[in-house]
Amino acid sequence: MSKVRVRFAPSPTGPLHLGGVRTALYDYLFAKNQGGEFVLRIEDTDTARYVEGAEDYIMEALEWCGIIPDESPKHGGKFAPYRQSERRDIYDRYLAEILKTDYSYLAFDTPEELDEIRKEYEQKGDVFAYNYISRNRLKNSLTLSEEEVQKLLDENVPYVVRFKMPVDRILNLEDIIRGKSSVNTNTLDDKVLVKNDGMPTYHFANIVDDHEMEITHVIRGEEWLPSLGLHYLLYEAMGWERPQFAHLSLILKPEGKGKLSKRDGDKFGFPVFPLNFKDPETGNISKGYREEGYLPNAFINMVALLGWSPANDREILTLEEMVKEFDLHKVHKAGARFSKEKAEWFNHEYLKQLSNEETLALFKGVDGIDLSQFSDDKLLKIISLMKERATFIKDIYNDGKFFFEAPITYDEKASKKAWNAETGTLMNDLADVLHATKTFESEILRKAIHDFAETKELGMGKVMMPLRLALVGELKGPDVPDILEILGSEESVGRIKNAVNNIN
Ligand code: GLU
pLDDT in the model for residue 267 = 87
Q: Fold match between 91-194 and 406-502?
A: no
Q: Which atom of ligand 1 is nearest to the CA of 20?
A: 10
pLDDT in the model for residue 329 = 94
Between 15-24, 264-273, 374-383, 434-443, the lowest mean confidence (pLDDT) is in 264-273
* Average pLDDT in the chain: 96
Q: How far is CA 179 from the centre of its chain?
A: 27
Question: What are φ and ψ of residue 198, in 5° steps?
Answer: 85, -5
- The pLDDT of 158-172, averaged and rounded, is 98
Ligand 1: which of 6, 7, 8, 11 to mutate, most ligand atoms within 8 Å of CB? 11
Distance 42 CA to ligand 1 centre (A): 9
Rounded percentage of the chain residues whose pLDDT exceeds 90? 96
Give yes or no for residue 206 CB within 6 A of ligand 1: yes
Q: Which atom of ligand 1 is nearest to the CA of 223?
A: 10
pLDDT in the model for residue 27 = 98
pLDDT tops 90 at residue 266? no
The angle, 0 to 180 degrees and rounded to 10, between the axes of the packed helices 423-436 and 489-502 is 170
When pLDDT is cut at 50, 70 and 90, the band that residue 111 belongs to is: very high
Q: Give how far Cα 17 sits from Cα of 71, 126, 281, 368, 398, Å.
A: 22, 35, 18, 27, 29
Ligand 1: which of 43, 83, 207, 242 to mutate, most ligand atoms within 8 Å of CB? 43
Q: Under CATH, what is the fold of the domain 91-194?
A: Glutamyl-tRNA Synthetase; domain 3 (3.90.800)
pTM, to two decimals: 0.93
Q: Are the C-beta atoms of residues 479 and 467 closer than 8 Å to each other?
A: no
- The pLDDT of 76-104, averaged and rounded, is 97
Residue positions annotated with a catalytic role: 262
Give yes or no for residue 231 CB within 6 A of ligand 1: no
pLDDT in the model for residue 181 = 97
Give yes or no for residue 43 CB within 6 A of ligand 1: yes
- The pLDDT of 268-286, averaged and rounded, is 94
Give yes or no for residue 45 CB within 6 A of ligand 1: no
**Per-residue pLDDT tens for 455-498?**
999 999 999 999 999 999 999 999 999 999 999 999 999 999 99
pLDDT tops 70 at residue 168? yes
pLDDT in the model for residue 1 = 64
Q: How far is CA 440 from the centre of its chain?
A: 47
From CA 311, how far away is CA 332, in angstroms rounded? 13
Q: Which atom of ligand 1 is nearest to the CA of 210?
A: 9
The residue contributing the CA closest to ligand 1 atom 2 is 10
Give yes or no for residue 10 CB within 6 A of ligand 1: yes
- 162 contacts: CB under 8 Å, gap ≥ 6: 104, 105, 106, 107, 130, 135, 140, 190, 191, 192, 193
**Per-residue pLDDT tens for 220-252?**
999 999 999 999 999 999 999 999 999 999 999
**Per-residue pLDDT tens for 310-327?**
988 899 999 999 999 999
- The pLDDT of 209-224, averaged and rounded, is 98
What CATH number belongs to 406-502? 1.10.10.350
Among the four given CATH numbers 1.10.240.10, 1.10.1160.10, 1.20.1440.120, 3.30.70.1350, the one describing domain 262-358:
1.10.1160.10
Q: Is 46 left (phi over 0), alpha (psi -120 to 50) or beta?
A: beta
User: Domain ranges in the chain?
Assistant: 5-72+205-251, 91-194, 262-358, 406-502
Give yes or no for residue 407 CB within 6 A of ligand 1: no
Among the four given CATH numbers 3.40.50.720, 3.30.420.40, 3.40.50.970, 3.40.50.620, the one describing domain 5-72+205-251:
3.40.50.620
When pLDDT is cut at 50, 70 and 90, the band that residue 444 belongs to is: very high
Q: Which atom of ligand 1 is nearest to the CA of 43?
A: 1
Q: Which atom of ligand 1 is nearest to the CA of 8?
A: 8
Long-range pairs of 384-387 with CB within 8 A, sequence gap ≥ 24: 384/356, 385/478, 385/482, 385/486, 386/478, 387/351, 387/352, 387/354, 387/356, 387/359
pLDDT in the model for residue 400 = 96
Ligand 1: which of 220, 244, 247 to mutate, most ligand atoms within 8 Å of CB? 220
Instruction: Kindly write down the DSSP assignment for every residue of 382-424, as one continuous string.
Output: HHHHHGGG-SSHHHHHHTTHHHHS--SS--HHHHHHH--TTHH
The residue contributing the CA closest to ligand 1 atom 3 is 10
pLDDT in the model for residue 2 = 85
From CA 236, how far away is CA 173, in angstroms rounded? 13
Ligand 1: which of 50, 202, 204, 216 to mutate, most ligand atoms within 8 Å of CB? 202
Instruction: Kindly write down the DSSP assignment for every residue of 46-62, as one continuous string.
Output: -GGG--TTHHHHHHHHH
Give yes or no for residue 205 CB within 6 A of ligand 1: no
**What is the CA angle 457-463-466, rounded to 5?**
145
Distance 372 CA to ligand 1 centre (A): 47
Q: Calculate Rg over the CA atoms of the chain.
A: 32
- Which helix (H) or strand (E) covers residue 147, if one does? helix 146-154
